[in-house]
Amino acid sequence: MQWLRVQYAKRGRARFTSHRDFSRAFDRALRRAGVPMAYSSGFNPHPRVSFANAAPTGAATEAEYLEIGTSRVCDPARVQEALNAALPTGLSVLAVVEGTRGGLADRLVASAWRVEPAGVPDGLLDEVVPQFLAREGVEVQRMTKNGMRTFDARAAVVSAAVEDGALRLVIRHTAPLVRPDDVISAMTVVDDRFAPEGVLLTRLAQGPLDGESVGDPLAE
């Protein structure tokens, strides 16, 4: 069996696809592309596909990852080309490399995000970010599948800066996972003037943390 690690992107309207929707679309693309998948054993065998830390629904992303197991050795470049030809608009495979089974999720330690809040007065974001970073902790609440959770959004933020009117964040993956919209909620706690009408999220990178930079999890 060969294991391949895949980096993919969700762009445009595809950012509104849920993880379940993407899983179905990717399964269809594997069949259309003719990728010789390996299957699990047991009464109900299924293709060996392992997803790692998917972005929240509604977020665009350039750095989502998964692993697939194939029943014979394949050329990663040809698998990438075939999958891109089979995937719907907005879903793109950016890289396919050969790897070993497991271990990819352990390399996804942090994410870099671009956060674009709408309806915020000019200059207010520049004021709020230093206030947020100066706090030792900022608690927020979010409904999860296990009920309402309260957690510290500040503790997970490695860096935050304003670039071209947008917020650039590096967030460490913690338990519970702090999302960029949680950081925006925390900033509304810090300064009640900050009340975005909406937020556009884009994950720019995901991988090992090197200081305040996020590395490539597919690199050796």
Give residue for tokens 């271990």: 103
219 belongs to a structural domain: no
Which tens digit of pLDDT belongs to each residue from 9-21? 999 999 999 999 9
Whether residue 143 is found in the same domain as residue 54: no
- Distance in angstroms (rounded) separating the CA atoms of residues 165 and 161: 10
Which tens digit of pLDDT belongs to each residue from 82-139? 999 999 999 999 999 998 877 899 999 999 999 999 999 999 999 999 999 999 999 9
- Distance in angstroms (rounded) separating the CA atoms of residues 188 and 178: 16
Mean pLDDT of the 48-75 span? 94
34 belongs to a structural domain: yes
What domain count does the chain have?
2
- Distance in angstroms (rounded) separating the CA atoms of residues 128 and 192: 10
Whether residue 160 is found in the same domain as residue 202: yes
Domain that holds residue 190: 109-214
220 belongs to a structural domain: no
Residue where a domain stops, chosen among 62, 80, 106: 106
Question: Which segment of 48-57, 70-79, 84-93, 161-170 scores lowest on mean pLDDT?
Answer: 48-57
Whether residue 92 is found in the same domain as residue 164: no
Whether residue 171 is found in the same domain as residue 95: no
Cβ atoms of residues 201 and 112 within 8 Å: no
